[in-house]
Chains A and B, each alone.
Chain A
């Protein structure tokens, strides 16, 4: 134990809490290199520091926060792949660029207040820009999130009731044999099912994002579901329901 130990020991709590001035920090770190005793105390204090992180009462974030996060990572992955192809750089080096691009795209979408949200969402959707539609919807304060429930399958259905487009995130859909296909349905109050399109499972990630478009606002419907149908789809559901939600 060197001469400084008493002095250093007194500073270690502040060092661990991150409130120590920079010049003292260097002094402490130099001492720690040569003093086992102070290093042990530091390790114990770091244990306290870690523990303080764990004491907060857990609070579930709201469901829309999850949908927004999934929209952001879907968009992030897509821009990553796009930039990746363009620049042929390894994935890890692209992450930062992709996030910047994502932020630019998001801000352009959000800040462009000259056209209505409905126009924005529907025009993005027409252009097959699923992820940007998703971001626009997920960032829209009027958007609602319905959690889709199934057996080993789940998802979120993000929509604004006044708009005729929704974005659906589904995870856990297994690939189907080639003579079968997933088909999505919007359910009317009288029980009628309107096809909302075929859904292709993604065997690589088990994760699918798609947009649902209707000729009417989604507030005209009372539910949404996904069934297994013969290849090519059906005019009305015939197969097993894998996912569903009542609005």
Chain B
């Protein structure tokens, strides 16, 4: 009896949806969400194919465990399926809405599992993705933030990452890093202020993308 194998690798793309995902304007997302609210599973699959990797990437980044991350990814898309009618286009992009839900679910899960007790205190560069400058959708907006975060003093960056991606309170961060609470608050403030300025001025974007292009060429 010949066992069946390797079937899960047959292909990820359905009808080429993935390859065109970043060209889709946001209005298209909104139409799909309206169809999902009416129970249209094909519309749901289109959005799943378009955004599952982004949602799962964030889940994995936060939970650092494939099994938990898969469940959070599934829960986030179940929310999209059952709560699509609550999404409003003026709340921002659908992807932003989905990622916000994902983060909340991931933090709930960390708290349930009490895994905050062992926060990761190292900076892992692999989880960061340089947003694509050529993208016509919202992705390019985050380029300056990417470079600003990467260039933060490491303690400021770690403080922000522990709070945002691992859901730690300032007191817990102070304990984890072995520094006074006041220091954590100062690092948070200084770091976030730099990120805000970077987004505001978009100065990093032009400077760095030139360096990046020279580096590649």
- List chain A positions with a Cβ less than 8 A from chain B: 10, 13-14, 16-19, 41, 44-45, 47-66, 68-70, 72-74, 76-77, 91-92, 95, 99, 144-147, 149, 152, 154, 159, 161, 171-172, 189, 205-207, 217-220, 222, 245, 247
Contact = CB atoms under 8 A, between A and B. Distances in A.
A146 B7 CA distance: 5
B216 interface: no
B68 to A, nearest CB: 12
Contacts, number: 196
B32 interface: no
A13 B193 contact: yes
A57 B42 CA distance: 26
A50 B195 CA distance: 12
Contacts of B58: 53, 56
B145 interface: yes
Nearest to B54: A58
Interface of B: 1-5, 7-12, 14-15, 39-42, 44-45, 48, 52-54, 56-58, 60-61, 70, 73-74, 77-78, 81-83, 85, 92, 95-96, 99-100, 102-103, 126-129, 131, 138-139, 141-142, 145-146, 149, 160, 163-165, 167-170, 185, 188-189, 191-193, 195-196, 199-200
A85 to B, nearest CB: 15
A76 B195 contact: no
Given A149-B10, A172-B15, A53 B99 contact: yes
B159 to A, nearest CB: 9
A53 B96 contact: yes
B188 A247 contact: no
A205 B42 contact: yes
Contact of A69 (B48, B128, B163): B48
Contacts of B138: 54
Contacts of A145: 7-8
A245 B200 CA distance: 51
Nearest to B195: A48
Main SS at interface, chain A: helix
B170 A14 contact: yes
Contacts of B126: 57
Given A10-B189, A218-B4, A17 B196 contact: no
A59 B192 contact: no
Given A66-B52, A145-B7, A189 B145 contact: no
A49 B99 CA distance: 11
A214 B73 CA distance: 33
A13 B188 contact: yes
A17 B196 CA distance: 13
B74 A65 contact: yes
Contacts of B131: 54-55
A159 B188 CA distance: 50
A219 B7 CA distance: 12
B189 to A, nearest CB: 5
A41 B189 contact: no
Given A51-B199, A56-B57, A59-B53, A17 B164 contact: yes
B117 to A, nearest CB: 17
Given A171-B14, A205-B39, 16 more contacts: A48-B145, A48-B192, A52-B145, A53-B58, A54-B96, A55-B128, A56-B58, A56-B60, A69-B78, A70-B45, A72-B74, A95-B83, A147-B10, A219-B1, A222-B4, A245-B10
A45 to B, nearest CB: 6
